[in-house]
Amino acid sequence: MSNIIRIGNGQGFWGDSIDAPVRLAKDGPLDYLTLDYLAEVTLSIMQRQKLKNPNTGYARDFLDLVERILPEISDKGVKVITNAGGVNPQSCRSELIQLAKNSGKEIKIGVIQGDDIFPTLAELRKKGVSFENMDTGADFDSIMDKVYSANVYINSSTISEALDKGAQIVLAGRVSDPGLALGPCIYEFGWKDQDYDLLAAGTLAGHITECGAQCTGGNYSRWQDVPNLADVGYPIIEMQPSGEFHITKHENSGGLISRETIGEQVLYEMGDPNHYISPDVCVDFTSFNINDLGGNKVSISNVAGLPPTDSYKVSISYFAGYKASGQLTVSGPNAYEKAQLTAEIIWKRLKNTGVTFEDTSTEYLGLSSCHGEINAFPSQINEVVLRLGVKDSDKNKVNRFGKELAPVITSGPPGITGFSGGRPKAQEIIAYWPALIPKQLVHTSVDVV
């Protein structure tokens, strides 16, 4: 049993820094590198890629990353835990094995499967799974023929199993975000299913680091206090067998770790603070002690856990119509009033041709699009960006909207510019449908090659 393990998270989402995980692996002591690529909409994109090409459906960025840190994996023993496998971890593994061979390396890669229940939805419905919308109570039958993907947030013991079988890279699909960090803790320290406080500690640690630099000064309310954000360091968990842990970062990196930066991330997507639900355990977010040790290190102890629920959450995505948006910059005296008139003109012209929409949006970027009426309008407005958007099930109507923006440049009020990139085109809307499934109906498997 290890006395302490260091788990760094170098990816908070698909599209996060391509250099952060490399620096984590190369710049200091690290046992595990976790990488979170998935969001609800990401899996639907991957599923559609796989339907077009059975060899795709995973985060291809991950291949480039592994190529850059192969020496750290094969020679220095840094293990990688990631959900980059998406809906096709097997194909991702095949590419990685070939990549390693081309570099003269040999690595063991574990694949976790069982989270993707898209192919068995009809069968599961026959077994009585309702897939009722957790938020609205809506009937699943209303969208069943429009579903793009369905993935279960499976537990973290699967990650531990892959590590126990010798995996140096663990490729998963939809494990929970905190589970990427909890899995190595279960493996290293031998934590059991009923060790609720310990599982809660690992879950909390993973929750704090799951968004990468968001706990090391990124997106921080007191952003003026954060030094050298251009060189921000990504977080590292220093976990002990007792469940007490530190959050820190590599020395000489920018950013800030303090009680406040960690506290803000603790609040992120928390839900019920007394009963934060994960696949492995429920966490009492009001239970623990948080102590700022200074020097960009925070200590957390006495995390309390509760038994998990008897169901898993299912992330379902489905087709919900079409959308398009476009924007114009309105400049000069009375810019806001001219922008209001411009919007009125465009909506009226569309209506006059018989085109209306299920939903529309009118935003004035720089004035009210983010915070509404919270902030007072300035007395003088020199320019404003008008952004208009539409949603409808009729693709032709949405494309018709895109043809109505440019004409107003010469047939509307003066000072309109900033129209570029061509006419807005209809894009599919991928909507999110959360549901539950009994745990006994989900069967996972782990193999290492």
- List per-residue pLDDT tens for the chain, 449 residues long: 569 999 999 999 999 999 999 999 999 899 999 999 998 778 888 888 888 899 999 999 999 999 999 999 999 999 999 999 999 999 999 999 999 999 999 999 999 999 999 999 999 999 999 999 999 999 999 999 999 989 999 999 999 999 999 999 999 999 999 999 999 999 999 999 999 999 999 999 999 999 999 999 999 999 999 999 999 999 999 999 999 999 999 999 999 999 999 999 999 988 899 999 999 999 999 999 999 999 999 999 999 999 999 999 999 999 999 999 999 999 999 999 999 999 999 999 999 999 999 999 999 998 878 887 888 888 888 999 999 999 999 999 999 999 999 999 999 999 999 887 789 999 999 899 999 999 999 999 999 99
Structural tokens at position 138? 């809506």
Contact indicator for 25, 69 with CB cutoff of 8 Å: yes
Q: Where in the chain is the domain with CATH 3.30.70?
A: 316-433
What pLDDT does 2 receive? 64
Q: What is the pTM of this model?
A: 0.93
| 3-class DSSP state of 304 | strand
Number of residues assigned to the chain: 449
Q: What pLDDT shows up at residue 366? A: 86
Instruction: Name every residue whose Cβ is closer than 8 Å to that of residue 173 and which is 6 or more positions away in sequence.
Output: 38, 43, 83, 85, 86, 87, 89, 112, 113, 115, 116, 151
- Quickly list H helices, 245-334: 259-266
Between helix 157-164 and helix 179-189 the angle, nearest 10°, is 50
CATH 3.30.70 fits 316-433, yes or no: yes
pLDDT at residue 378, as a whole number: 82
- Spatial separation of the C-alpha atoms in residues 194 and 243, rounded to whole Å: 14
Distance CA 104, CA 362 (A): 56
Q: What is the pLDDT of residue 379?
A: 81
Tokens of 369: 């699009």
DSSP 326-379: EEEEEESTTHHHHHHHHHHHHHHHHHHTT---SEEEEEEETTTTTTTTSSPPPS
Q: With contact defined as beta carbons under 8 Å apart, do 110 and 167 qualify?
A: yes
Q: According to the model, what pLDDT value does residue 187 have?
A: 98
pLDDT at res. 1: 54
DSSP 370-435: TTTTSSPPPS---EEEEEEEEEES-HHHHHHHHTSSTTHHHHSSS-EE---SSS---EEEEEEEEE
pLDDT at 399: 97
